[in-house]
Amino acid sequence: MHIVAIIVLFLVLVLGPQWWARYIFRRYADVLPRIPGTGGELARHLLDRFGMSDVRVEKAENSGDHYDPEHRAVRLSRDNYDSKSLTAVAVAAHEVGHAIQHQRNEPKLMLRHRLVKLAQRTQQFGAGAMLLLPVAMAITRAPTAGLVMAAIGLGSMASATLVHLVTLPVELDASFGKALPILKSGNYIEPQDEIAVSRVLRAAALTYVASSLASLLNLARWIAFLRRA
């Protein structure tokens, strides 16, 4: 029973934020006639307003909502790009918040970009080490070599998840340091919608972290595999 309880707790802690974020997005995804424009239109308007006419607004076909600093593009999912909902408005403002961070060369965002690239390389290195583990053990026939490769692989994957987690302040700033003040001061949302928009913005900030936590499941599967090996 203790093992089952631990597994359930682990799944709740890892997948809970992801499930909660999806629930919030769906809850406020209804089209509201009082909203004057779609998420895509709001993103374009805000970018122009803040002097970023060179930043594109694109419909993301195969990826989620995000700001791409390398290609200078705010990308919104199909629903958020085309919809007049609180979710669409809040998410669009959140991604524009990242564009504003980039325009101002804010240190936290610059650090995040470097850390994310490091995390991507680290994850690839860790996955490669885990795939080569059976080969290394077969060639060397030394348990120590296998342990070293396993430690490298697991350490790389765990550190990549940690890197994603430490970028949370950047996400919170995009939501509550940029998006919410802009939406309120510009009267883009009604006063009665502020609580709902705040919830969506919190979910948007946690989405990145939720995905990182979900990657722990992959780490757990590798650990379980090694224990059986």
Which residue(s) pair with 67 in the sheet? Answer: 74
Tokens of residue 204, six digits: 């948007």
Identity at 7, one-letter amino acid code: I
| 41 has catalytic annotation | no
Q: How many Å apart are CA 211 and CA 209, to the nearest integer?
A: 5
Catalytic, out of 58, 61, 70, 95: 95
Q: Say which DSSP state 174 is in.
A: I
Q: How many Å apart are CA 155 and CA 153, to the nearest integer?
A: 5
Closest to 74 measured CA to CA, from 87, 90, 58:
58
Q: How many Å apart are CA 52 and CA 46, to the nearest integer?
A: 8
Contact 35, 82 (CB under 8 A): no
Catalytic annotation, residues: 95
